Amino acid sequence: MDPNDEKGLDYHFYKEIAKHPKGEGITKCLSCGTCSSTCQVLAVNNNYNPRKIIQKAVLGLREEVLNSEMIWICARCNSCIEKCPKGIRPGDIITAIRNVALEEGKTSNKGVRHSIYFKKSILQTGKVNEAILPLYTLRFKIFSQVPQAIKMFFKGKLPPIFPKKIKGIKDIRKLNQLIQNRKLKQAKDLNKRGQS
Q: Which residues bind ligand SF4 (CB under 6 A)?
A: 29-35, 38-41, 50-51, 54, 74-80, 84-86, 88, 90-91, 94
**Residue 160's binding partner out of another protein, ligand SF4, none, with CB under 5 to 8 Å set by partner kind:** another protein
Q: Cβ neighbours of residue 155 under 8 Å, at least 6 residues apart?
A: none
Kindly tell me which of 5 and 145 has the beta carbon lying closer to another protein.
145
How many residues sit in the footprint of another protein (CB under 8 A)? 64
User: Cβ–Cβ contacts within 10 Å for residue 115, how many?
Assistant: 16
How many other C-beta atoms can be found within 10 angstroms of the C-beta atom of residue 64? Answer: 15
> Least distance from C-beta 79 to another protein, angstroms?
7
Q: If you count DSSP H runs as helices and E runs as strands, how many of each does the chain have, helices first?
A: 10, 0
Q: SS3 for 123?
A: helix
Nearer to another protein, 3 or 159 (CB): 159
86 binds, among another protein, ligand SF4, none (CB under 5 to 8 A by kind): ligand SF4
- Closest approach of Cβ 144 to another protein, in Å? 8
Which of ligand SF4, another protein, none binds 50 (CB below 5-8 Å, type-dependent)?
Answer: ligand SF4
Residues 79-98 binding another protein (CB under 8 A) are 79, 81-82, 89, 95, 98
Query: Whole-angstrom distance between the N-terminal and C-terminal Cα of the chain?
Result: 18
Phi, psi of 94 (to 5 degrees): -60, -40
Contact 136, 113 (CB under 8 A): yes
Tell whether residue 48 is a contact of another protein (CB under 8 A): yes
DSSP 81-107: HHH-TT---HHHHHHHHHHHHHHTT--
Evaluate whether 2 touches 11 at the Cβ level (below 8 Å). no
Binding residues for another protein, rule: CB under 8 A, are 21, 40-41, 43-45, 48, 69, 72-79, 81-82, 89, 95, 98-99, 102, 110-111, 114-116, 118-119, 121-122, 126-128, 130-131, 133-134, 137-138, 144, 147-148, 151-152, 155-157, 159-160, 163, 166-168, 171-172, 174-176, 178-179, 182-183
